């Protein structure tokens, strides 16, 4: 199951990481209040002198970090599912995860829709 990693895979990984960095910076700029690229970059150089320190540290950076970690966790869980089942095209509906998630969503909406997040 182990394959040799070639240069093409390394290029794909580098491209994906650069794309992730660009998208992260863009998502720090856009929101209810637009923050120019210069001020975002100044935040990384000297965070204590930034006017947008609260917006970036409390609102936008945690969301970006959580989105990256959630995406990585989903990718890792898919990889583990494929390795455990020894099936390279395994998906969550093979072991009923999709149906269980749908049932949980329906139950939550039906009985707990009055609660706020």
Q: Is residue 1 part of a domain?
A: no
Residue 104 lies in a domain: yes
Longest dimension (CA), the chain: 53
Give CA separation, 63 vs 29, 68, 103, in Å: 13, 9, 27
Q: Which helix (H) or strand (E) holds 19?
A: helix 7-29
Total number of domains in the chain: 1
> CA 42, CA 49: separation in Å to the nearest integer?
8
3-state secondary structure of 95: coil
Q: Is the pLDDT of residue 2 over 70?
A: no
Least confident among 14-23, 30-39, 95-104: 95-104
- Which tokens in the block code for residue 114? 């009055």
**The two three-digit tokens of residue 70, written as one number:** 């959630």
Tell me the per-residue pLDDT of 30-86, one tens digit each, with 9 for 90 and over.
999 999 999 999 999 988 877 889 999 999 999 999 999 999 999 999 899 899 989
- 103 within domain boundaries: yes
Where in the sequence is the domain holding 47, given as residue range(s)? 7-112
> What pLDDT band is residue 117 in, cutting at 50, 70 and 90?
low
Return the pLDDT at 64. Answer: 97
pTM, to two decimals = 0.74
């Amino acid at each position: 199951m182990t394959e040799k990693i070639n240069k093409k895979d390394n290029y794909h990984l580098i491209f994906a990481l650069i794309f992730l960095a660009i998208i992260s910076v863009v998502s720090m700029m856009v929101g209810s209040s637009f923050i120019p690229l210069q001020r975002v970059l100044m935040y990384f150089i000297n965070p204590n002198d930034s006017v947008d320190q609260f917006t970036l540290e409390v609102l936008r950076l945690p969301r970006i970090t959580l989105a990256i970690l959630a995406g990585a966790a989903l990718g890792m869980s898919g990889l583990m599912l494929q390795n455990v089942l020894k099936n390279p095209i395994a998906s969550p509906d093979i072991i009923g995860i999709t149906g269980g998630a749908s049932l949980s969503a329906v139950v939550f909406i039906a009985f707990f829709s009055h609660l706020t997040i």
